[in-house]
A and B are shown apart, each in its own frame.
Chain A
């Protein structure tokens, strides 16, 4: 059944899941959520396993719900509001019939995820519901009056919140010299000129305007190879890989990229750092921190333990909003009938909006 209607034309909101794997030999890109960590945490909160969610890039999405359901909002803070009242991220949220959920522009990162208990029901194409930005091989880019569907779940009120969540706000506020993302050496790293090898790790790179779900071009120093290096024969690539074409710029392959490429692959982000990289916006700067593949695997396991083991607790403050007026804080709660209640001097008062 219909669960929500899209009320506006968002900039780039698509259905994504954990990705489309197993069709690489036929030239099919993987797609899937770019910040796979936030996507997975959003579904983890709801007891889902890798079901379709909405990936919101650049914000500006407005939806209306048709029925009571349980949702979560993770990733970048796009000031989500329900019926104009700000809601918390990284915890499950009770939705009632006719609720309007809005996202404005992004504040600390590129991507947010809207997940629903049970997942949105989107036809699978090649074993996945993920949307590809260029090829018509999956879901679709959401536009005004689109409907999303779900199988109604018995909504219990087991609301959860995360004890620890990725701190994209803190990351976005770091000085560039501290904004270091882990990378490992790629197959052609050793073909770099010795100057470029050194500069690569001492230089700042900036996210250019040429960026999207297929790839991101980084502005920065010109990367050069040692004199005896010739072109490579087209070979395997994957998301997170940094290629260097003839112009000497770094091209980072993202989730919608092809799995075959003809340019030297000099570095790649790790499974852990790629989540942070996928949140960077045009104009953001970063530096690289070179680690070994063994360290990358240890960090991936630490991230998994940190975020997915014993990280959920009962969310007692469900649908609670804080309203500040004349430096005084008031708590607003929703009851089951979606009446907004404000408690003043211990007395609940129903609010009319």
Chain B
């Protein structure tokens, strides 16, 4: 797959594979990341974004060109990324009421009943493009067009941990209490991030997430 090389800093490279959000591109990036296992370049960070592979290296130990050559080499190998299907994780959600403070307002904005919104939101699984914003926060793509509504004009100072929220064409879950501008439609009791675990985030890039109403 074609990519362009961007220097985010003097020690972080982005290998950018597309200008748009594309599940297949993201799956391909995850495959490249898996094939980086066992490389001998002593890389500090390797992670996916929507359409880039990000690598942080120590320029005192690793030459920039070595990182680029490694990715070029791995990119040449044929990879059947189209058939890769991630593990599906079920997230039980209490929708609406005190668990989803904004559901009532969204129902007014979208002229749709709360039940319809819950049905649409929980009817499909969502692909996890990347995890960030806060530890364990998944960026889920492909929210149904019918649920598209703008962010809050003033972000909340405190979004409760476990909040399931929507904004534009995205949906996500806040693992920690934090500030945030997405509209809250429900809450999950699942512990999304356990810092004591060797794999602390429950949700990882490449997985699929499905919400189940309680």
Q: Are the C-beta atoms of B136 and A236 separated by less than 8 Å?
A: no
Is the Cβ of B133 less than 8 Å from the Cβ of A137? no
Whether A297 and B64, one on each chain, are in contact in the complex, defined by CB atoms closer than 8 angstroms, is yes
Interface residues on B, range: 35 or more
The verdict on B107 contacting chain A, using a C-beta distance below 8 Å, is no
| A344 contacts B by Cβ under 8 Å | no
Shortest CB-to-CB span from B47 to chain A, Å, is 4
Contact of B8 among A24, A28, A134, A237 (CB under 8 A): A237
Cβ–Cβ contact A235 & B9, under 8 A? no
Contact indicator B132/A258 (Cβ below 8 Å): yes
- Of B45, B196, B199, which is within 8 A of A125 by CB? B196
Given the interface contacts A268-B10, A293-B10, A297-B10, does A26 sit within 8 Å of B139 by beta carbon? Answer: no
CA A268 – CA B56 in complex, angstroms?
14
Query: CB < 8 Å: which of B21, B133, B178 contacts A233?
Result: B21
When distances are taken between beta carbons in the complex, the residues of chain A under 8 Å from B139 are 234, 260
Q: Does A85 contact B (CB under 8 A)?
A: no
A200 at the interface (CB under 8 A from B): no
Min CB–CB distance A307 → chain B (angstroms): 12
Cβ contacts A327-344/B at 8 Å (1 or 0 each): 000000000000000000
> Taking the complex as formed, is A229 at the interface, i.e. its CB lies under 8 A from any CB of chain B?
no
B90 at the binding interface (Cβ < 8 Å): no
1/0 contact string of B169-205 vs chain A (CB within 8 Å): 0000000101000000000000001011001110011
Contact with B along A250-270 (1 / 0, CB 8 A): 000000001110000100111
Instruction: From the candidates B6, B137, B204, name the one contacting A25 in the complex (CB within 8 A).
Output: B204
- Cβ of B11 < 8 Å from any Cβ of A? yes
Contact present for B14 and A234 (CB under 8 Å): no
Main secondary structure of the interface of A (DSSP, over half): loop
- Whether the pair A27, B50 counts as a contact (CB closer than 8 A) is no
Q: Are A184 and B10 in contact (CB under 8 A)?
A: yes
B195 contacts A136, CB within 8 Å? yes
The answer for the CA separation of A260 and B195 in the assembled complex, in Å, is: 20
List A residues 290-313 near B (Cβ within 8 Å): 293, 296-297, 300-301, 304
**Majority secondary structure, B binding face:** loop
Min CB distance A139 to B, Å, is 12
Binary A-proximity of B19-48 (CB < 8 A = 1, otherwise 0): 111000000000001000000000011111
Output the residue of A136, A234, A237, A268 with the most chain B CB within 10 A: A234
Give the one of A27, A233, A260, A297 with max B CB within 10 A. Answer: A27
Q: Within the complex, what minimum Cβ distance (angstroms) separates A40 from chain B? A: 11
Q: Enumerate A176-214 residues with CB–CB distance to B below 8 Å.
A: 184-187
A136 to B8, CA, bound (A): 27
Given A24-B47, A126-B200, A259-B54, A300 and B132 touching (CB < 8 A)? no
- Asked if residues B14 and A236 are in contact (CB atoms below 8 Å), the reply is yes
The minimal Cβ–Cβ distance linking B17 to chain A, given in whole angstroms, is 11
Pick the most buried of B16, B51, B52, B135: most chain A CB atoms within 10 A of its CB.
B135
For residue A270, which residue of chain B has the nearest CB? B10
Let me know if B49 and A235 touch, CB within 8 A.
Answer: yes
A292 to B200, CA, bound (A): 38
Residues of B with C-beta under 8 A to A300: 10, 59-60
Whether the pair B21, A271 counts as a contact (CB closer than 8 A) is no
Which of A30, A135, A187 interacts with B134 by CB under 8 Å? A135
Contact indicator A241/B10 (Cβ below 8 Å): no
- Which chain B residues (81-110) contact chain A, with CB distance < 8 Å? none
With A27-B136, A28-B200 given, can you name 9 additional A-B contacts, CB distance below 8 Å?
A: A27-B133, A29-B135, A136-B176, A234-B132, A235-B16, A236-B52, A241-B8, A259-B54, A268-B8
5 smallest CB-CB distances across A and B, nearest first, come from: A260-B132, A236-B54, A26-B201, A296-B10, A25-B47
Q: List 22 A-B contacts (CB under 8 A).
A: A22-B44, A25-B46, A25-B131, A26-B193, A28-B200, A29-B135, A30-B45, A125-B196, A126-B200, A136-B176, A137-B195, A233-B19, A233-B51, A235-B16, A235-B52, A236-B8, A236-B14, A236-B52, A236-B54, A259-B47, A260-B130, A297-B64
